[in-house]
Amino acid sequence: MRKLTFVLLAVLCLSARADEGMWVIGNLSEKTDSILRTLGLELTPEELYSTETPSLNDAIVQFGGFCSGVVVSNDGLVFTNHHCGFGSIQDYSTPKHDYLKNGFFAKSFADELPNEELYVLFHIKTVDVTDLILGAVPAGATEVQTDSIVDAMSSQLTKMVDYSGKGIQSEVNPFYKGSKYFLSVYQRYDDVRLVYAPPQCLGKYGGDTDNWMWPRQTCDFSVFRIYADKNNDPAEYSKENVPYHPRKYAHVSTQGYRDGSYAMTLGYPGGTDRYLSSYGIESTMRTTNDVRYQVRGVKLDILNEAMRQSDALRIMYASKYASCSNYWKFSLGQNTALDNLKVIDEKQQLERQLAAWALEDTVARGRYIGVLDSLKVIYQEEYNALYGYNLWVESFYGGSDIVSFVLTNMMGVLRDNEDDFQKNVAKAYRDIDVDTDKKVFLAMLKNYIEHVPNEQFLPQQICHEVDSLFNGDYERFVDYLYETSAFSHPELLQQAHSITELSGDPMINVGIDMISVLFSTIWGTPHREDSYERILCDGIREMNHDHEFYPDANFTMRLSYGLCKPIDFAPGTTGLKEEATQMITSPRSFLNKHEQNPDNLDFELIPSVYKWMKRGKFSKQYIDSRTGKLPLCFLTTNDITGGNSGSGMFDGKGRLIGLAFDGNWEAMSGDLKFDNALQRCIGVDIRWVLSVIDDYSGAKRLIKELTIE
C-alpha cells in the first residue's frame, strides 16, 4: 500500500511537473540529473556527455548558424528540418529541376550537392569561466567599463583556444543576463552536402496556415552529409573529400513511445528572455511584435503576388518569404498568447513579491530596491526610440533587398570590415528581382513615413527630395531612383571593387539618409534597460535561492527533458478541434486537410504524393504498433524555441524518435514565460521520415546507412 501511495504520488507529481528548462549539457546538477532518471532516462551521465569517451553529445550538430541537426550514420549523414535545409534546396532549384516542389535525392555520393555557406559545429566542451571573466572587473566599474573588460577577456580566452587548429573554435557567452560566463568549444566542418529533400508538400505541408500550430502533419526534415579530408579532419569543399566518420552517431528507434514516455531534445535553442520584467514584456509587445507584424504584412503581400507570377519568381523568393512569414506569424502568436495567458499580470505579481522581499532587508538587498521603478521609467523614456528602431530595421534593413544590401555594405565600410564586394554582389543579386524589389521599397518607405513615431526619425533628405523634385509623389521618386542607380542594374555593379567606388549613386544617398536616421533613433538614445534587467534577474534568483534556475537560451547546446503528452486545452485559448487533443497525427488527418482546403496552396499536393498517401501502403516496420497507423507528428512537453529546429528527439535509451520542428500557438508566449500546462514541442516522428525516404522515394541507400532498432 505504501508502495502504491508512493507510485501514485510520483505519478501525480509527474503530471503536474513542469518540463521547463534548457539545460547546459556539460553542467547538469545532480538534482536535474536525478529528475531525468526519474522520468525515464536510462543513459548514464557519461553516455549523455563526456569529454573522454564518445557520447550522445557528439552526434548533435549546430547546423549552419541557425538550426540544429543530428548525425545518424557512420558516414556523417545528418538529419535536420526541411525548413533548415530550405535555402540550400532553393539554391539548387530551377523551374526545370524544381527540388522545392518535387524533392531531391542524390543517388550516389557523387550526386550530393555542396553548399558554400553551410557548415556544422560539433560541441566539444563547455567550461564555466565566470571567475576568470568577472574576476577581471574591478569593483565599482561602470556598465561600459564592464562590457569592455568582458569583451577583452573573452576574446583573449577564445584566441587561446582557437589557435589549436583543425576547425576548433570557441565562444564565450553570457548566461543569466551576464551574471555568469561559459566558454564553449566547437569543431567546425565546412563541407556539408545536400543528400535528400522531400517534396515541399510534405516537408512544408500546411505552410503558413499551420505554422506554429497543432495539429500538424508536416514531414519537416531534410538530409545532409558532412565531408572531411582523408584524415577525417575539417576541410573546405573538395572533390577529394570523403564522408566524415563521427565519434558517435544516433541510432534510430521505430519502437515509438506512448503517452507519458520520456523524451528529450538535444540542440541549439536560439534565444529566450524568461526573466524579462513586465515592463520589458510590454515593450516587446508594442515596439517589436506589433511593428514586425504590421510591416511584414505589407511586404509579404507584395512578395506573394510576385511569387504567383512565375515559377522562377516563386523559387527565387521562396526562402526569403518563408523566413519573413515565420516571424510575422510568430509576432501575432506571441502577443495573442501573452494576452490570453495574462503573462504581464503574473510577472507583476512576482515583481511585487520581489519588491516586498527587498524591503525586508534594506542593507543586504539594497540593490533590488527601486529596480522596478527604474525599469518602468526607462522603458517609458525609450519607447519611441525602440519603436523607431524596430520600424527602421523591419522597413529598411529587412525591407527591400537592394536597400538592405547597400546598408550592409555601407556599415561594413563604417566598421572597417569590408569583405569581398564582388562576392557579396553575386550572392545577393542571385535572388533579387529588381521590379519586385522596387515595389517592396516603395511600400516600405511609405509605410515607414506613415508610422514613424516622431519627426526626428524621418529620412530628411528623401522627404525633402520627394517634396521639392517630385511634388510629394513617392512613386515617382522611387521610379527615378531605380532608373538611375547602379544598384538596380546589377551589370553596372560588376566593375566596382568596393562600395566606396559608387559614392554619389542615388541609392547610396538613400543609404546615408537612412543610416543617419538610425543614429538618431536607438543609437542616439542611451540604452539602459539591460543592466537593470540583470539586477532584476539576480534578485529573482536570490529570492528563490532553493530553486534551480536554468539560463536563458543563447544558441549554445542544451538539453530539454519531458514526456510525450497531448495538450489539455485551457479555456480562452484558440480552442479545440477533435484531433487537436490527440498526441499523434495520422495519414487520415493529412488527407482531410488536403480535401477540406481545396483552394489553399498550403495543402496542395503533387500527384505522386497524393497517390502515395491515398494508397496508404506504408512499410510495416514504420507502423505504430499501438495505433496501427503511420505516425506523422507528435507532441512532447519539451521546452523549445527557434534554433531548436532540427534537434534530435530521443527516448530514454538515447535513440532517435523524432526531429523537433515547432512550438504551439496556445503557448507562443513561451520565449518570455514558459507555460507548464500548455507549452509543447512539435516533432516529426522518425517513422514518418523513414517512410517518406523509403516508401515514397525508394531511397534505400540512405535507409541502409542507419542503425534502426
Active-site residues: which are they? 83, 220, 645
Binding string to ligand ARG for residues 619 to 648, with x set by CB under 6 A, is what? Answer: -----------------------x--x---
Please tell me the distance from the alpha carbon of residue 517 to that of residue 545, in angstroms, as a whole number. Answer: 45
Report how far apart, in Å, the C-alpha atoms of 456 and of each of 396, 443, 460 are. 16, 21, 8
Binder among 98, 112, 208, 513 for ligand ARG (CB under 6 A): 208
Q: Which is nearer to ligand ARG, 536 or 684 (CB)?
A: 684
Please tell me the distance from the alpha carbon of residue 608 to that of residue 615, in angstroms, as a whole number. Answer: 11
Q: Which is nearer to ligand ARG, 126 or 637 (CB)?
A: 637
Query: Closest distance between ligand ARG and the C-beta of residue 219, in Å?
Result: 12
Q: Is residue 560 near ligand ARG by the rule CB under 6 A?
A: no
Task: Residue 122: count other Cβ atoms within 10 Å of its Cβ.
Answer: 25
Site stretch for ligand ARG (CB under 6 A), options 205-213, 230-238, 342-350, 515-523:
205-213
Residue in 213, 212, 278, 264 with CA at minimum distance from that of residue 21: 264
The DSSP bridge partners found for residue 185 are 125, 170
Site stretch for ligand ARG (CB under 6 A), options 100-108, 207-215, 362-370, 381-389:
207-215
Binder among 49, 196, 212, 441 for ligand ARG (CB under 6 A): 212
Q: Which is nearer to ligand ARG, 204 or 314 (CB)?
A: 204
Report how far apart, in Å, the C-alpha atoms of 151 and of each of 147, 156, 186 are. 6, 9, 19
Q: Which is nearer to ligand ARG, 445 or 667 (CB)?
A: 667
Site stretch for ligand ARG (CB under 6 A), options 41-49, 101-109, 203-211, 700-708:
203-211
Report the residue count for the chain.
Answer: 709
Mapped onto helix, strand or coil, the DSSP state of residue 562 is strand
**Per rule CB under 6 A, count of chain residues that contact ligand ARG:** 12
The three three-digit cell numbers of residue 319, written as one number:
526562402
DSSP-derived secondary structure for 135-191: HTSPTT--HHHHHHHHHHHHHHHHHHHHTT-TTEEEEEEEEGGGTEEEEEEEEEE-E
Query: For residue 212, which phi and psi values (nearest 5 degrees)?
Result: 65, 25
Which one-letter DSSP state was computed for residue 112? P
Query: Closest distance between ligand ARG and the C-beta of residue 329, in Å?
Result: 8
**Residues 430 to 459 in contact with ligand ARG, rule: CB under 6 A:** none
3-state secondary structure 653-709: CCCEEEEEEEECHHHHHHHCCCCCCCCCEEEEEHHHHHHHHHHHCCCHHHHHHECEC
Asked, as a colleague might, if the bond just before 215 is cis with ω within 30 of 0, I would say yes
Query: Closest distance between ligand ARG and the C-beta of residue 334, in Å?
Result: 12
Q: Which is nearer to ligand ARG, 322 or 338 (CB)?
A: 322
Which one-letter DSSP state was computed for residue 397? I
Q: Which is nearer to ligand ARG, 204 or 565 (CB)?
A: 204
**Residues 323 to 342 in contact with ligand ARG, rule: CB under 6 A:** 326
Query: Closest distance between ligand ARG and the C-beta of residue 280, in Å?
Result: 22
Binder among 70, 322, 481, 609 for ligand ARG (CB under 6 A): 322
Q: Is residue 666 near ligand ARG by the rule CB under 6 A?
A: no
Query: Closest distance between ligand ARG and the C-beta of residue 647, in Å?
Result: 10
Q: Is residue 207 near ligand ARG by the rule CB under 6 A?
A: yes
Residue in 304, 297, 193, 286 with CA at minimum distance from that of residue 239: 193
Query: Closest distance between ligand ARG and the C-beta of residue 211, in Å?
Result: 4
Task: Residue 95: count other Cβ atoms within 10 Å of its Cβ.
Answer: 12
Site stretch for ligand ARG (CB under 6 A), options 97-105, 202-210, 250-258, 305-313:
202-210
Binding string to ligand ARG for residues 272 to 311, with x set by CB under 6 A, is what? Answer: ----------------------------------------
Query: Closest distance between ligand ARG and the C-beta of residue 287, in Å?
Result: 21
Please tell me the distance from the alpha carbon of residue 422 to that of residue 424, in angstroms, as a whole number. Answer: 5
Q: How far apart are the first and last CA of the chain?
A: 37
Please tell me the distance from the alpha carbon of residue 670 to that of residue 660, in angstroms, as a whole number. Answer: 16
Q: Which is nearer to ligand ARG, 465 or 685 (CB)?
A: 685
Q: Which is nearer to ligand ARG, 187 or 326 (CB)?
A: 326
**Residues 82 to 101 in contact with ligand ARG, rule: CB under 6 A:** 83
List of residues contacting ligand ARG (CB under 6 A): 83, 204, 207-208, 211-212, 322, 326, 642, 645, 661-662
